Amino acid sequence: MSGITLLLAQALIYFGVMAFLFRLRHVMGLGAFLCALGVMHFLETYLAAVFFIQLPFGLLSPGSTVLFSGKLAIILLFYIREDAETVRQPIYGLLVGNFLMVALVLTLRLYGSPVALPGYNPDLVLIDQMGALMIWGTTLLFIDSIALILLYEKLHRLMPRSTMLRACLTLAVILTFDQICFFTGLHAVTGTPWDALFGGWVAKMGAAVVYSALMGLYLLLFERSTQELAPQPLADIFYKLTYRHKYEDLLGKSGHDALTGALTRERFDTVAPALATRAAATRKPLSLAILDVDHFKSINDRYGHVTGDEVLRRVVECLRSEIRSEDRIFRYGGEEFVILCENMPHNAALAYAERMRVAVHGTLSREFAAAPTVSIGVATYPDDAASVRDLLIHADAHLYEAKRLGRDRVVGNAGELRKAPAG
């Protein structure tokens, strides 16, 4: 069997088995998939250190080219179909498990030379070399995995409709970084010839192409109906991947909703009366818009709660892009949001709300198959009510009217606002 045929056969076997286990995650859970992902690392490192084949462009190791590159591709596939909080589990599991393996071997070396058995002589030098390479390779795997996901998400914003191309470019960049770093350690520990640096890099670029094509084929054949999440802020992904802090706890303590980042209902109960008092003192209007995502339950039922959560996040992001810096967004209920606008007369608030409606629908219709819309009711203090409670009641009545008229519209004192095109 030729070298290239061998590599392709190994890649097909590795990806086929891992993709099969991943596909069965909803039936048998993630346990089998994660165990299969984790047990290969020692073999990857061993082959990367001692087993090389010669191809026209240089030396390369199947352990690095096929198994390690395949592991990164599978981690990326895991992220694409799940999320950062789920994919961080195998990343940290691999980090801890591999370091544990090295630590246990080091404790055995404290014993000294093992008992010699007939016909077998343990290679302690190789064990020591493997320990150093396991530490170096495991550290790189952790860095590679975090960088892989962040780079993929960065490219997601630049190429939102090209999953396979994003995967290929991401793998190519990260595998280039890994080849340089791992070979440096490998050369220092084992004296591997420099010819393996270039040969391994060429082979890994081929692996990036092959594995991204296999990922694209898998997604097309088996998970085509599952919608990929919209691009997320890199800082949020990084915090989730690295356990930098309990994101939800910090948001809760600061008065922000954990899911969307909008202010909480509790903050509304504190802020709104203060703004109403200030509006009364300055004799300036205070407008309140209450917004509801239309048919949100059906979005959850049809596309799943992960997609539903992402719809809510994107709604808030769209609203932020349209409101003034001094305006405030509160998550008032499940899919219901309140926007408070100081010094804004009723007619201006209606036009303001219409811009929000158009922006939300225009953005979400491009990102989600459900093409979510919103209905908005608007009321203004003091024309419509003399208290925050009555202002809410007034705006809620207008929201109810908007839904009765067919949803995806803005309603205020003068009835339904004449809608602008939503596209």
User: What CATH code would you report for 261-416?
Assistant: 3.30.70.270
- CB-based contact 155:169 (threshold 8 Å): yes
The string of pLDDT tens digits covering residues 100-139 is 988 888 888 787 777 777 877 777 777 788 888 889 999 9
Nearest to 196 by CA among 183, 185, 209, 178: 183
Domain ranges of the chain: 3-242, 261-416
Question: pLDDT below 70 — which residues of the chain?
Answer: 1, 225-232, 243-254, 414-423
Give the separation between CA 300 and CA 335, rounded to whole angstroms: 11
Give the separation between CA 285 and CA 278, rounded to whole angstroms: 10
The string of pLDDT tens digits covering residues 342-371 is 999 999 999 999 999 999 999 888 888 888
Phi, psi of 412 (to 5 degrees): -135, -155
Planar angle of CA 378, 379, 382, nearest 5 degrees? 160
The pLDDT, as a whole number, for residue 230 is 61
The pLDDT, as a whole number, for residue 46 is 85
Nearest to 178 by CA among 200, 210, 150: 200
Helices 3-23, 69-81: axis angle to 10 degrees equals 30
